[in-house]
């Protein structure tokens, strides 16, 4: 067997990728993508976008704290925040690619647009991972809505997130 076609260029580089998102709050679908990304890359930085425009149920600090707790067993995963453009965060932190989960075709158009723009802006690559079909219907906003009206989201979010959702959404 020859090895002439094996691409080795760049193999010594650290493969540091970012998993960006709002994570308000982190769901089992996010966690599945983060875990799978961590198996494929040297380092994964999960980054919460902290731009002002989106008012969330949880503060950025709370989201970071929950992400830190649910990824604590993954030694090559760290959690941070960014403000402004994602590509600026990537450049400043030696991140060569962004990993995003695609749940359904409906995600594709929006994600494709961002991926192409991020490449155009700073040559930051985007790698898409297909969501586990178990979670292809799962979104943080749906989880919050279901929980707010008393529905059961037990299997959709990590236990500690479930507790905080109940505490935050409990009728006062």
User: Rounded distance, CA 80 to CA 47, Å?
Assistant: 5
17, 44 Cβ separation under 8 angstroms: yes
Active-site annotation holds for 16: no
Residue among 102, 114, 127, 146 that touches ligand PNS (CB under 6 A): 114
Using the minimum distance from each CB to ligand PNS, give the nearer residue, 13 or 51.
51
Number of other CB atoms surrounding residue 34 within 10 Å: 24
Residue among 16, 18, 19, 21 that touches ligand PNS (CB under 6 A): 21
Q: Is 97 in the site for ligand PNS (CB under 6 A)?
A: no
Q: Is 71 in the site for ligand PNS (CB under 6 A)?
A: no
Using the minimum distance from each CB to ligand PNS, give the nearer residue, 65 or 107.
107
Residue among 74, 85, 127, 142 that touches ligand PNS (CB under 6 A): 85
Catalytic residue among 16, 30, 144, 164: 30
Using the rule CB under 6 A, give the single segment among 7-15, 19-27, 73-81, 143-151 that binds ligand PNS: 19-27
Whose CB is nearest to ligand PNS? Answer: 49
Using the minimum distance from each CB to ligand PNS, give the nearer residue, 42 or 113.
113
Active-site annotation holds for 41: no
User: Rounded distance, CA 118 to CA 113, Å?
Assistant: 9
- 88-114 burial, b at 16+ Cβ within 10 Å, e below that, comes to ebbeeeebbbbbbbbbeeebeeebeee
Number of other CB atoms surrounding residue 23 within 10 Å: 25
Catalytic residue among 16, 100, 103, 164: 103
Q: How far from 19 is each of 2, 48, 135, 148, 153, CA to CA, in Å?
A: 36, 9, 17, 27, 23
Cα-Cα-Cα-Cα torsion 156, 150, 142, 168, nearest 10 degrees, comes to -90
Residue among 49, 71, 138, 147 that touches ligand PNS (CB under 6 A): 49
What does the binding site for ligand PNS look like in residue numbers (CB under 6 A)?
20-22, 49, 51, 85-86, 114, 117-118
Catalytic sites, residue numbers: 30, 54, 103, 140
């Amino acid at each position: 067997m020859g090895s002439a076609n094996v691409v080795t260029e760049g193999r010594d580089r650290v493969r540091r990728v970012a998993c960006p998102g709002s994570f308000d709050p982190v769901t089992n679908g996010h966690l599945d993508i983060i875990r799978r990304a961590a198996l494929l890359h040297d380092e994964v930085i999960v980054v919460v976008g902290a731009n002002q425009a989106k008012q969330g149920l949880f503060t950025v600090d709370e989201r970071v704290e929950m992400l830190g707790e649910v990824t604590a067993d993954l030694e090559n995963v760290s959690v941070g925040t960014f403000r402004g453009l994602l590509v600026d965060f990537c450049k400043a932190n030696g991140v060569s690619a962004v990993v995003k989960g695609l749940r359904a075709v409906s995600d594709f158009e929006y994600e494709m647009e961002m991926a192409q723009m991020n490449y155009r802006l700073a040559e930051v690559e985007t790698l898409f991972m297909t969501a586990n079909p178990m979670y292809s219907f799962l979104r943080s906003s749906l989880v919050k809505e279901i929980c707010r009206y008393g529905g059961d989201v037990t299997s959709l979010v990590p236990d500690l997130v479930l507790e905080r959702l109940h505490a935050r959404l409990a009728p006062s």
